[in-house]
Chain A
Amino acid sequence: MHPTAPSKPLRAYGDREGDGMVQLSFVLELPPSAKAREAAKRFAEMHGLQDPLVATMEPAAEGFSFFVVYGHSKHAVDPGEIDVPEVRTESLSREDIEHRIKTRLGRKIVVVGACTGSDAHTVGIDAILNYKGYAGDKGLESYKGFEVYNLGAQVENAQLAARARALKADAILVSQVITQRNCHKENGRALVELLEREGWRRDAILLFGGPRVDHQLALELGFDAGFGPGTKPGDVASYLVDKLCGGPGAMTEIPL
């Protein structure tokens, strides 16, 4: 669809516009049988699939069947009714990022990052902060304009806050990979509350990242921005430069 075309309700696109084709796979606690096949079909119908075809029914474990079902979803979604906050920053080139920091801020942007709580998965924070970067895009460490402190994994909020405060961090990056029982949300919210209690929440830009994170969630938790899967270091760098050094025409509006 052309970006300027008026929006219309959309059905899933399989082979033709409006066919609503989707696939669904799931397990039911039933051994394979004609009854199980019918159960899978009805289950799919309850999800709005018309004329479901049970393409696969196999025993996945004793007393459990694995199903793959195709069907025509009757649901349609109207993108015109959706308003999702997105991190709106133009992607800047490396040269532009370095130049703006140098000419408009005149000092390095101090960034402190960590995986907080019990989370031991540093792959996300490392991809953004470490020199090596991710998918060919080098991390913030590789920029002259950033001073980066990657505190690593399993850092307590209090520890992160103390370190960030001592370093006068411009930005704090929190990465959360583990999401079991929403511990990522609790950890994130707890950090925001801690900074508010200590009275310096507004002194730093707070960024939240991880595979199950989006901008909206980050805003809900009290962060300034959220970065989900596929984020490259350059995206984060661009965002920070935009916030701290002003946009393209904001030469005179350097925040103090």
Chain B
Amino acid sequence: MATVPMDPRKVARCREIAAEIADDVQRYIDAHTTVGVERTILRAYGAEGVDDQGVPLVNTAVERYREAGVLGRGIAFFLGRALIAGAKTVQDAAERLAFAPEIDRGEGGPGPDAAREALREHTAAAIARIDTARKQREALRARIASGPTPLRYVIVATGNIYDDAVQAKAAAHAGADIVAVIRATAQSLLDYVPHGATTEGYGGTFATQENFKIVRRALDEAAQEQNRYIQQTNYSSGLCMAEIAWMAAVERLDMLLNDAMYGILFRDINMCRTFVDQYVSRRFIARAGITINTGEDNYLTTADAVEKAHTVLTSQFINEAFALRAGLKPEQMGLGHAYEIDPWLEDSFLLEVAQAQLIRQIFDKHPIKWMPPTKHKTGDIFFAHVHDAMFDLVGITTNQSIELLGMFSEAIHNPLLMDRYLALKATRYVYGAAKHLGEEIEFKKDGIVARRAIQVLDEALELLEEVKRESIWEAIGRGAFADVKRTRTGGKGYAGVLDRARDYCNPLLDALERSA
């Protein structure tokens, strides 16, 4: 069996430090909420719909209470009071919050305990809705098994959800195990979730609850036809990461791209906002039994993949620590990394093998997400196909769990039907031809691969020490990850972060926290 040297004491030390780093942030999280979190709570209670301008009801309600300066008490507090005041349903109560002539300032009348009591059955129903979807998924997966690992993950991105559904089924037919519908590029910066089925989008298709349903239906059909369970994934990231996590939970998605720091680094979303949002999104994800995919692969698209390999491992430890604090199990953590070393560098393949194997060993229970080369793709599709085959070879040899297939047309256009077909065909060949390669070979004790693995872990440990010393807020500020620098109060969405009041009321989050 091909393993690389891995000092378990160093790994344990990395986890300890990551825990301290995450604990520091968790204290902040536990004292704050965001407009995104509060909208998620309203949605989870069942509030839905948009006005004639397309503004979701939950945005109107939450924004109104934020402007009034009372949102820090929790939207659930006001929702409960509206029910006590005579609203017949949650929907009716939410509409009152949004549109009643008088805003409830929360003065006098029922307190948080009474609001909680008024919401008791609704809280239970909200949890039951998530649990029902989870049970449905588990029943389906018990009947129709998934393919073997590495699971083959492909993306579709037509902009039109109905075309996406056709393409998703075609991909399943060609051998895909997981289908992602890429989001429209600007969606991560929208501070609301669009509504309904959508047929126009740049660079992808909007993530909406209705679009989730349409693709779920297509993939369930494909699973029946192929007799192989096909997983659906989307993006719980950006300013609405928690709302999308909830939508995915009730629409039975299997996976979500979800990262504790990605939005900060790559979308310039404020770090306070992101830390709070990632926590609440992951509470829903944990309950729903969804697998997250983290985005460390992106670090190597902006920073050098050889020099900064350790930053990926450092971030994986931190992502893991945050996920544990939100109740996720290691089996739900698809920590991400990528094959992004310059292909013309001598022994680049060995460096890739070292990193992939090291991460496989350190995170042995985790469904590791293995990302293909993108940065060094040039438009030479013939070379790119070879490049991707080498990536596949590392994937099967080191038994990565989830492999996003490389596309030879990367850097040219979103994948065409035939691009996916050829990627799946090549992967089938490499996975089959090298099926047991990892079990047959050993790495030289003091060879290039072994030494590289030791070096990356050592450097990751060192960086974790530094991050702990200066705190993650400062570390991000000086560009420790992905060479991107962000400040604590900079970035988008900071105005939507609020101090929790001393009597903050959020019985649904309380229930999710208790269930862990």
Contacts and interface: CB of A to CB of B under 8 A. Distances in A.
B515 to A, nearest CB: 35
B202 A211 contact: no
Given A118-B185, A152-B268, A178-B185, A61 B301 contact: no
Q: Which of B185, B301, B417 has the largest number of chain A CB atoms within 10 A?
A: B185
Interface residues of A, number: 27
A12 interface: no
A62 B175 CA distance: 12
A137 B134 CA distance: 51
Nearest to B414: A180
A27 B186 contact: no
Interface in A105-141: 118-120, 122-123, 126, 130, 132
Contacts of B202: 118, 178, 180-181, 183
Contacts of A123: 301-302, 375
B203 interface: yes
Given A118-B186, A178-B202, A61 B159 contact: no
A87 to B, nearest CB: 19
A152 B170 CA distance: 36
A60 B421 CA distance: 6
A172 B149 CA distance: 48
A61 B173 contact: yes
A110 B234 CA distance: 41
A27 B185 contact: no
B418 A118 contact: no
B100 interface: no
A178 B201 CA distance: 12
Given A62-B173, A153-B268, A178-B203, A211 B421 contact: no
Nearest to B342: A135
Given A62-B170, A118-B186, A229-B378, A180 B421 contact: no
B411 interface: yes
B203 A27 contact: no
A126 B170 CA distance: 36
The size class of the interface chain B forms with chain A is 20 to 34
A230 B411 CA distance: 12
Contact of A62 (B169, B301, B418): B169
A14 B304 CA distance: 38
B169 A119 contact: no
A25 interface: yes
Contact of B185 (A62, A119, A122, A152): A119
A198 to B, nearest CB: 25
A33 interface: no
B185 A60 contact: no
Interface string B183-198: 0111011000000000
Nearest to B225: A62
A178 to B, nearest CB: 5
B483 A25 contact: no
Identify which of A61, A118, A119 gathers the most chain B CB atoms within 10 Å of its CB: A61
B186 A154 contact: yes
Interface string B479-507: 00001000000000000000000000000
Interface string A166-189: 000000000000101101000000
A64 interface: yes
Contacts of B414: 180
A126 B189 CA distance: 21
Contacts of A25: 418
A183 B421 CA distance: 28
A132 B425 CA distance: 36
A66 interface: yes
Interface in A54-83: 58, 60-62, 64, 66
Nearest to A123: B301
Nearest to A118: B186
A27 B416 contact: yes
Contact of A66 (B171, B186, B418): B418
B267 A27 contact: no
Contacts of B87: none
B418 A120 contact: no
A200 interface: no
B188 A120 contact: yes
A61 B421 contact: yes
Contacts of B411: 211, 229
Interface in A176-215: 178, 180-181, 183, 211
Nearest to B411: A211
Contacts of B188: 120
Contacts of A154: 185-186, 189, 267-268
A13 interface: no
A66 B421 contact: yes
Given A61-B174, A152-B268, A178-B202, A27 B417 contact: yes
Contacts of A211: 379, 411-412
Contacts of B483: 130, 132
B125 to A, nearest CB: 38
A186 B50 CA distance: 30
A26 B418 contact: yes
Nearest to A130: B483
B422 interface: yes
B266 interface: yes
Nearest to A126: B302
B170 A60 contact: yes
Contacts of A126: 302
Contact of B417 (A64, A118, A120, A230): A64
A180 B301 CA distance: 22
B266 A60 contact: no
Interface in B406-437: 411-412, 414, 416-418, 421-422, 425
Nearest to A119: B185
Nearest to B304: A132
Interface string A204-233: 000000010000000000000000011000
A178 B188 CA distance: 16
A14 B465 CA distance: 59
A25 B382 CA distance: 12
Interface in B363-390: 375, 378-379
9 tightest Cβ-Cβ pairs between the two chains A and B: A61-B170, A118-B186, A60-B421, A118-B185, A27-B418, A178-B203, A180-B202, A61-B173, A66-B418
13 contacts: A25-B418, A27-B416, A27-B417, A27-B418, A60-B417, A61-B421, A62-B170, A118-B186, A120-B267, A152-B268, A178-B203, A180-B414, A181-B202
Interface of A: 25-27, 58, 60-62, 64, 66, 118-120, 122-123, 126, 130, 132, 152-154, 178, 180-181, 183, 211, 229-230
Given A61-B174, A153-B266, 10 more contacts: A58-B425, A60-B418, A61-B170, A61-B171, A62-B170, A123-B375, A178-B202, A211-B379, A229-B378, A230-B378
